[in-house]
Amino acid sequence: MHYRKVGTTDLAVSEIAFGCGGNAGLMVRGSQADQLLIVARALELGITYFDNAPDYGDGAAETNLGIALRTLGAQPILNTKVEIRAENLDDVAGHVVRSAEDSLRRLCADYIDMFQIHNGPSRVDPKLEGCTYAQLSLNDYLRPGGALDGLERLKRTGKIRYAGFICRGNDGDEVRRLLDTGVFHLINAPYTLLNPTAGRARPKGLTVKNDYADVISAARARGAAAAIYSPLASGFLTDDSVAGIPRHDLARAYDLESAASLRLRRMARSLTFLSRENGCTLAQAAFRFVLMHEGVATALGGFSTKVQLEEIAAIAGSPPFSADQTARLETLWRTDFAG
């Protein structure tokens, strides 16, 4: 395993991180025996960074990771988050503090190394309703009693060490505004072979639903770093997806024959030259692409099985793609994967 510093912090994290989200499903729906086995293997492979959130199984992923780490006597670098919903807007700071304290109990931890706001920043009021939390207005981040106040309270009491937030796309200006506060040292953003806009300007000709406006470079310029979530584009950047093989039973199911899925599978198929020529799987090529960016601290892997974990961990420290391969990738972007 190879390790990278998180911006100007004293944290050094493994290039491959252990994601506990529901897409792969292990830490939410897996058996305790499998969770213990795979977490132990991750630690053995040198993975030191575990990414979690209360929203993953309504606290189940945090509880299950806490049990596994306590059983193994391990203390890796922990990340978890807070989701701010409509019901929390009257006391955002208080909710941030209470959520962190609840997470600490579930994780059986004394402090959280990296605590993130799970809502992406929005210039306008996103009009939160019900259980939605995808965005949070900049005002609710920055106002007295807002999210930043809650983070500062947690830092003062030693319950968290560093703070971060999530990028949701089409929010480049807002992301930069938050980074300029100096409070945040890590952003989570998707950066993939299908949509590289989190790490560069959008290639002319490439159609994307969400433009991430090179937030990784913006973070790096401000002493922060990026953790990349969904590097496999929700599992479409895999050999199984290209072949139409159904997901693992623990993983979140997708209709692989829907129009949207068929397009993503076609796009992924056009990228298989990267795996074929580099002697690796498509999933490994996708992670390799992510780690080519110097602003990336770690790539979050979601694992349903030990085999998947070992497949991805094996590419840590791999060299970048060749100049010819990168040029062909650029052509695919410029032609919107028509090539």
What's the pLDDT tens digit per position in 243-293?
Answer: 999 888 888 888 888 999 999 999 999 999 999 999 999 999 999 999 999
Instruction: Answer for the pair 215, 187: CB distance below 8 angstroms, yes or no.
Output: yes
In a domain? residue 34: yes
Residues 6+ apart with CB under 8 A from 87: none
In a domain? residue 249: yes
Nearest residue to 115 via CA among 83, 79, 72: 79
In a domain? residue 138: yes
Question: In the chain, what is the greatest distance between 2 CA atoms, to the nearest angstrom?
Answer: 55
State both tokens at 117.
Answer: 């706001």
Number of domains into which the chain is organized: 1
**Residue span of the structural domain in which 197 resides:** 3-334
The Cα–Cα gap between 189 and 307 comes to: 25
What does the DSSP 8-state code read for residue 230? -
Tell me what pLDDT residue 256 has. 84
> How do residues 53-74 score in pLDDT, each as one tens digit?
999 999 999 999 999 999 999 9
In a domain? residue 136: yes
Residue ranges of the chain with per-residue pLDDT less than 50: none
In a domain? residue 99: yes
Nearest residue to 152 via CA among 195, 204, 94, 218: 94
What one-letter code names the amino acid at 316? A
Nearest residue to 49 via CA among 249, 313, 272, 308: 313
In a domain? residue 81: yes
In a domain? residue 92: yes
The Cα–Cα gap between 282 and 298 comes to: 18
Nearest residue to 95 via CA among 64, 86, 160: 86
- Per DSSP bridges, beta strands 3-5 and 12-14 are antiparallel
**Domain CATH for 89:** 3.20.20.100
SS (H, E, C) 40-74: HHHHHCCCCEEECCCCCCCCHHHHHHHHHHHHHCC
The Cα–Cα gap between 300 and 256 comes to: 23
- Residue 209, number of CB atoms within 10 A of its CB: 7
DSSP structure string for 121-136:
EESS-----TT--SEE
Tell me what pLDDT residue 339 has. 57
233 φψ region: left (φ > 0), alpha (ψ -120 to 50), beta (else): left
Nearest residue to 219 via CA among 282, 258, 176: 176
In a domain? residue 339: no
